[in-house]
Amino acid sequence: MRCLFIVAALWLSSGLTALAATPTADLLVELIRADTSNPPGKTAQLDELMQAKLTRLGFTVEIFPTPDSGKSHLIARLKGDGSARPVLLASHADVVGVERDKWTVDPFAGVVKDGSVWGRGAIDFKGGMAVFAEAVMRLARNKIPLRRDVIFMIEADEESAPYNTTWLSQSHWDAMDCEFALNEGGWIMKRADGKVRYVSISTADKSSIALLLTAHGVSTHSSMPRPDNAIFRLSKALARLADYDTKPQLTASTREFFLTLAKTSEPPESKYFYDLVNSHDPAVIARADREISKDYLLHAIMRNTIAPVFLNAGFRGNVIPGSAQATINFRVIPGTTAADLIAEIKKVVADPEVDVTYQGASPNAVPGTVESPTNSDLYRALVESAGQLWPGVPVTPYLFQAGTDAGAWRRHGVPVYGIYPYPISNDDLSRMHGNDERVPIDSLEQGADLIYRTLLRVAARQ
Ligand SMILES: [Zn+2]
């Protein structure tokens, strides 16, 4: 009696943590409650949780431990008749950490409030995991005969290496091999009125290259400064870089993406999008670039971006150091090489006393990546399913502005398509990796419907 009273009182006083009462949202609440912040990224707890659910429905589940305790990958397979190669749905279980004092709710309580599920990972990517899991489990519950295996994967270490999918693919490629894969990536963006504006499906990811700027000067006593000061020299080089921006470079997918934006926006924005894609006049393109770049996401996907991320100089208060260094992180359009970047940045820095050298690339980078084709069964199934759910809404390929773990498949020539499978607003999107991350419950259900229909098209026996 007393216990019941306490439970009831807690429930009434919080109210917020009651389950969401739709299958996908309820699952997301459970996933968020397992804190998988990376570091340390203890994702095995999610594998255990999902293993029980999936095994019960007839999936064959394998768990691959990593050398890091509490961290593993899960691969669940729903068998088809083998007449086609598998389709794989990948979702990462780790999330980035939180600035707890900036959240208005407990980020790991799975709070349900104002029609949304709130918590770290709601968008990136436990929401996607819940949607993918619900879609594949619906196939099993409905006993849909399959012509290909449907593989559902829960990954470790996506937000932070080393035991990510690339690591797993080196020893267990057979378990991950497939005809094509679905991962995080593009967006289902809503208009201000809540209706879906467009669906973007990523067909390639940008990759990350780091360059090191090393400015040289004479090391001496700080009481007798000289003009050849390494820190001043580095500062001037960085100032030149700050005033510089790379030129827009459109790929096949970003051209189509910007044309979709043109079709779904009002003047003058629509004109800027058309100009960016179609104009040959540098002044017109520059104007369009300036206007479009007020949106930082759009600024990023049409060019190689430049971001200083580390500074390193000095070791004593009374010594002028002989060198000063800055690490610059570039997120590059597929096909850009480190050599291209070094040549471009040397020209901008324009100082022979500042070396520009290669420091590293993201482990997920795939050299010379080609975009996943838009004529595959999986891409077409996504387009047709989106057309059923949101008639008349354009679907466009998209270059994802950051890296994902798709490289593990792309390196083997397997096409990967990316989607955050829920309609969201710009406001929701801005909370990803930020504070008060959340995803609308009805969007999760629409997403599960989208992916379920897509799997029926691509994997059900005809
Ligand atoms: Zn993610």
Q: Where are the alpha helices (DSSP H) in 98-176?
A: 126-141, 165-176
Q: Tell me how far the alpha carbon of residue 281 lies from the centroid of ligand 1, in angstroms.
A: 38
pLDDT number for residue 21 = 79
**pLDDT confidence of residue 367:** 61
CA of 13 to the centre of ligand 1 (A): 33
The conformation of residue 251, written as its DSSP 8-state character, comes to -
CB contact burial 107-121 (16+ within 10 A = b; e otherwise): bbebbbbeebbbbbb
For ligand 1, the distance from its centroid to the CA atom of residue 124, given in whole angstroms, is 5
How many helices and strands, by DSSP H and E, does the chain display?
A: 15, 17
Q: For residue 179, give the nearest of 415, 418, 457 by alpha carbon.
A: 415
CA of 327 to the centre of ligand 1 (A): 24
- The stretches in the chain having pLDDT less than 50 are 1-17
In whole angstroms, what is the distance from residue 156 CA to residue 388 CA? 34
159 Cα to the center of ligand 1, angstroms: 7
Q: For residue 384, what are its two tokens?
A: 């047709």
Predicted TM-score (pTM) of this structure: 0.87
pLDDT at 350: 97
How high is the pLDDT of residue 364? Answer: 61
- How far is the C-alpha of 243 from the C-alpha of 283, rounded, in Å? 18
Q: Please, are residues 441 and 22 in contact by the beta-carbon 8 Å criterion?
A: yes
Report how far ligand 1's centroid is from the alpha carbon of 214 (Å): 33
* pLDDT reported for residue 402: 85
**Residue 261, exposed/middle/buried by CB under 10 A (0-12, 13-18, 19+)?**
buried
Ligand 1 centroid vs 65 CA: distance in angstroms?
Answer: 21
pLDDT of residue 9: 41
Q: Which residues pair with 319 in a beta bridge?
A: 221
Instruction: Quote the pLDDT of residue 19.
Output: 58
